[in-house]
Amino acid sequence: MARQFAYYPGCVAEFSSKELNATTKALAPLLDIELLPMPAATCCGAGDIAEAKPNLYLTLNVRILSQAEEMGVDILTICNVCTLNLRRANKMVKEDPRLLEAVNEELVKAGARPYQGTREVTHLLWFLATEEGLSLLEARGPRGLNGLRVAPYYGCQLLRPSSVMGFEDPDRPQSLERLITALGGEVADYGSKTKCCGFPIILAREEVALRESHVALSEARDAGAQCMVTPCPLCHLAMDAYQRKTEKQMGEEYNLPVLHLPQLLGLALGIPTADMQFRRHMVPVDEVLQIVGA
Amino acid sequence: MPSTTFRIFRFQPDSGKTEPYHQDFVLEHEPRITLLDAILRLQNEQDGTLALRYSCRSAICGSCACKANGKTVLACMEQVEDLKAANVGGVVRVDPIGNFAPIKDLVADMTPFWEKFKAVKPFLIPDGPAPEKERLVSKEAMQKIYNESKCILCAACYSECNSLAADPEFVGPAAFAWGYRFAADARDGQRKERAKLYSGEHGIWDCTRCMFCNERCPKGVDPRDAIEKLGSIAFQEKVTSDKGARHAKAFLISMRTGGKLNETLLVPYTDPIGAQFNLPFALQMLRKGKAPSPIPHRVKHLDEVKHLVKNVKETI
């Protein structure tokens, strides 16, 4: 029987980066995952609502958790920021029954369902980097990545704070590496794979943000990467959509295609390239497609 | 008795070596020894010129922050055996704290750190005439600033701060933890002024949320959370003209009007002037289908969301 999740793609994957949502939906049936829609789920607030109105952030995110509870399944995310915001809210109310009670009071007043604290939130990467996930990939008999040199890029909020995230060592993560290797790719290793892409301040402080993304882009390039892969659509925007801008600001060339994690899996599993909507990327991925023979 | 190789950052400009380098030291030691005690033994027994800062040896003074295998720690809090086990090859690499210029070996120039600390006015500025007796504060009110009060100014949070690496003028995590510690103190009378002081260029809205500060703080201060709470204070005090605050406001408006992020609103609302100069970039995005639909998305049961946005009270 298919493994069911309450699917929480997040705003960016639904709008700016539709290619991520489309690829995830194409990938799920191949891995025997059923993605159940959450039509009443709001934005997680992306850290911005937590900053402006922390109590509102908590209540809105618990409302989302409660929807998954009503569906009787755990939440699956494909965005670092959504994962942190939902997990943080979940941890806060699970560890503090009085806080949960106060939040539920607000939810009930608003006509929403109260939360009992029974759900978990996991990212697609975490699900796939376990024994269960890897065996699902193997069962598909992937055609493989043909030695493609891939720079894993984690970004920040899937790793830190580890007290909230906790899937793996935030300083020596291995989940992306495990998947790249299992799919017949080569890991292009570099130091800044756990550093920030700058996206949270890219609209307010663009120059600073681009100096941040420059660090990982230049290191990945120097490590001989043929592409970068990321589990987060915000990192993807910073690394792909803004890459030409960063090149201009820093006076350097990276020319590094950036794949969403499900796209890398899709290439290895033979999802038709048109379905993964690479045309929506700013940096062309043609060479990557050639190497893997897609 | 175990033996450990320490690969230590050396920088001795006074002795004519202008470039830093790493030097290997081998030490035989008892199984349980802290990194600080190991370095002190190296200094005493092998090379008296090895320079470092330390004082209390018990995680109170905040002097001995450095990087062990690339990760910022207090040298007095780390066991050598744990560091060896965590590192491939068993070598313990020791470097000075990051984001500050080295002076000599593990001693870095902390001048910018102290300047930023002073810039947040890290002291109480009460309002009105002084009371006849002391100002009483409830336990509950102190609880709000308990985390931030634990800061020992070791600067471990600055060492790997990604905003600071990209912008050396960023005020930074520890200073803002202290800023919050006073802004939220029931005895302080400068809440609004502090919100203004902290909201400028290189201020709270420059934090890139890399979360390294929360991860590295040896005392559980969670400086990023303090910065976040300062944002909330800025909102309550209506100090929201910075582009970062406007970015957050766009999320609140999105929530109220549709429940999902309204990207059409986000860019021009955050930076109404800059957005016009960014037109070529916007057109590129448009061609790639990355321009969002102008119609706000509406989640089911939006009435619940609207009710929450209107009625949930903030308590910071």
Percent of the residues in chain A that have a pLDDT greater than 90, as a whole number:
97
| Predicted confidence band of residue A39 (pLDDT cuts 50, 70, 90) | very high
Q: Which residue has the tokens 């201060």?
A: B221
CATH number for the region B3-108 comes to 3.10.20.30
Å between B157 CA and nearest CA of chain A: 13
Which residue from A minimizes the CA distance to B316?
A54
Query: Which of B165, B208, B311 is closest, CB to CB, to A109?
Result: B311
Contact B313 A107 (CB under 8 A): no
Helix pair A261-269, A18-27: axis angle to 10 deg: 40
For A255-281, give the DSSP string.
Answer: ---EEEHHHHHHHHHT--GGGGTGGG-
pLDDT of A175 higher than 90: yes
- The domain segmentation of chain A, as residue ranges, is 3-124, 134-292
Mean pLDDT within A239-244: 97
Query: Which of A12, A205, A280 is closest, CB to CB, to B206?
Result: A205
Chain B residues whose CB is inside 8 A of the A160 CB are 210-212, 214-215
pLDDT of B280 higher than 90: no
Percent of the residues in chain B that have a pLDDT greater than 90, as a whole number:
82
- Class at the top of the CATH hierarchy for domain A134-292: alpha beta
SS3 content of chain A, % helix, strand, coil (to 5): 55, 10, 35
pLDDT of B292 higher than 80: no
Residues 36-95 of B with CB under 8 A from A: 70-71, 86
pLDDT of B275 higher than 80: no
- pLDDT value of residue B263: 83
Contact A204 B271 (CB under 8 A): yes
Mean pLDDT within B169-180: 98
Quickly name the fold that domain B111-236 has.
Fumarate Reductase Iron-sulfur Protein; Chain B, domain 2 (1.10.1060)
- pLDDT value of residue A272: 97
Contact B308 A55 (CB under 8 A): no
- Class at the top of the CATH hierarchy for domain A3-124: mainly alpha
Chain B residues whose CB is inside 8 A of the A106 CB are 308, 311-312
Contact B314 A112 (CB under 8 A): no
- The 10s digit of each residue's pLDDT in B28-45 is 999 999 999 999 999 999
Query: Which of A16, A52, A203 is closest, CB to CB, to B232?
Result: A52
Å between A264 CA and nearest CA of chain B: 20
Contact B303 A209 (CB under 8 A): no
Determine contact: B311 vs chain A, CB below 8 A.
yes
Give per-residue burial for B145-174: e unless 16+ CB within 10 Å, then b.
bebbeebbbbbbbbbbbbbbbbbeebbbbb
Q: Which residue has the higher pLDDT, A128 or B286?
A: A128
Strand intervals (E) in chain B? 3-10, 21-28, 65-68, 71-74, 92-96, 102-104, 107-108
- pLDDT value of residue B277: 73
Å between B292 CA and nearest CA of chain A: 6
Q: Kindly report, as residue ranges, where domains of CATH 1.10.1060.10 are found in chain B.
A: 111-236
Chain B residues whose CB is inside 8 A of the A62 CB are none
Mean pLDDT within A100-105: 98
- The 10s digit of each residue's pLDDT in A115-171 is 999 999 999 999 999 999 999 999 988 889 999 999 999 999 999 999 999 999 999
